[in-house]
Structure 1
């Protein structure tokens, strides 16, 4: 059985950010199964419970919804006019504490984020 969780992703180390950055992060609220994958069946039954927020110190926050794609998940802008308006995506991968995920921004920029915290609720 999956568990709804609040997941905090922090920017991992890179050439531009050799120490990473806790101020560049995503908060994701999603149901995770026992292997750490987002549970699509549960999410489809309770889509209003799932959400994502991106915060950067130099830009306004982005908030939205999680939508399944063929290879993973899109983070769709809450203020989007159409269903194809998204601000980031991740591949379908296990989300466990300390693991890393690649997030692709709409402009094609790919950044690595570390799973800093998972809090079940």
Structure 2
């Protein structure tokens, strides 16, 4: 499991551990996303977005040609186009390391920087 926490930003100069993503995804022994395992059992790759004073958003992680996307189930369905909101981000083929930072595109289009807080 990968835990991402909001990194420093204009609104949160010290970041915010309360604004986080928990990503359950298979990792290789060296800490990279195991794309073969992800593709063979996609339902096991789940995501939970936690924001204070908001209901958690739950979705599934999917590999795309440009990185990874989270498909959210919205109000019991998956949106007018058959899919929920997308959040695109890139993890390279290299190991994911605690302390590294990545940018996520939120469902509203904002790009936010997150820190990899833990790996399990």
TM-score (structure 2 length as normaliser) = 0.84
**Unmatched runs of 5 consecutive residues or more in structure 2:** none
Cross-structure match for 1:112: 113
For 1:85 and 1:10, locate their aligned partners in 2 and report how far apart those are by CA, in whole Å: 22
Residue 73 in structure 1 maps to residue 62 in structure 2: no
Q: Distance in 2 between matches of 1:108 and 1:34?
A: 33
Distance change in 2, residues 1:108/1:35 (3 Å):
farther
Q: Determine the C-alpha separation between the residues in 1 that align with 2:40 and 2:57.
A: 24
Structure 1 length as normaliser, TM-score?
A: 0.84
Q: Please give the secondary structure, in 2, of the residue aligned with 1:32.
A: coil
Q: Which residue number corresponds to residue 4 of structure 2?
A: 9
Measure how far apart 1:85 and its partner are: 2.4
Q: In the TM superposition, what whole-angstrom CA distance separates every residue of 1:77-100 from its partner, at most 9, and x where no partner exists?
A: 134144442242211335211111
How many residues are aligned here? 114
Q: What is the alpha-carbon distance in structure 1 between the residues aligned to residue 18 and residue 10 of structure 2?
A: 17
Distance 2:23 2:82 in 1: 19
Q: Which residue of 1 aligns with 2:47?
A: 52
Structure 1 residues not aligned, in runs of 5+: 1-5
For the aligned residue pairs, the C-alpha RMSD in angstroms reads 1.7
1:23-53: CA deviations, max 9, x gaps? Answer: 0000000012355432221111111211000
Q: 1:61 aligns with which of 56, 79, 83?
A: 56
More strand by share: 1
Structure 1 residues 71 and 37: alpha-carbon distance in aligned structure 2, compared to 1, 3 A threshold? farther
